[in-house]
Amino acid sequence: LSAIVSAVEIQLSFEQLNEFREINNEVPIHMRIGIHTGVIVLGNVGTVQRMEWTAIGDVVNTAARIEKAAKKGNVLISDITYEEVRDQVTVKEDIEINVKGKVHLLKLHYVDTVTFLIRGQTQILKLPS
């Protein structure tokens, strides 16, 4: 749920940023966000000369492929993720994609709204249509 709330907030921030960019005759910036749920390997990878903090595994690769399938300005989540948050998220569209290395099509959901509690208050964030 936290990842989805953060993703929607990021997309809404880009909406505001692009209003200012338009006023200044600048090209808008669009982002796609893909979210998947599962177990990953997270840590330092590399050598003493070049060490990087990274996340690896099938879940990370699948999330990257979900992100690439998303439309600009949207948050696209896997069906596994949706099942975890279905009471707090509404979706506006469902799609299925073929993912390299997977036998079955991957069912995905475009987030419309996300509902969450902050300081005891219910908040609802909605992505533009």
Whether residue 129 is predicted with pLDDT greater than 90 in this model: the reply is: no
In 3D space, the residue among 98, 77, 99, 96 whose CA is nearest the CA of residue 88 turns out to be 77
Q: What are phi and psi of 110, to 5 degrees?
A: -85, 125
The answer to whether 44 touches 53, Cβ cutoff 8 Å, is: yes
- Report DSSP state, residue 25: T
Per-residue confidence band for 6, with pLDDT thresholds at 50, 70 and 90: very high
**Structure confidence by residue, pLDDT tens digits, 70-127:** 999 999 999 999 999 999 999 999 999 998 888 899 999 999 999 999 999 999 999 9
Give the pLDDT of residue 95: 98
C-alpha to C-alpha distances, 118 to 81, 91, 122, 123, 129, nearest whole angstrom? 21, 21, 7, 7, 25
Q: Which two tokens stand for residue 129?
A: 């249509």
* Beta bridge partner(s), residue 110: 76, 93
The answer to whether 64 touches 28, Cβ cutoff 8 Å, is: no
Q: Is 57 helix (H, G, I), strand (E, B) or coil?
A: coil
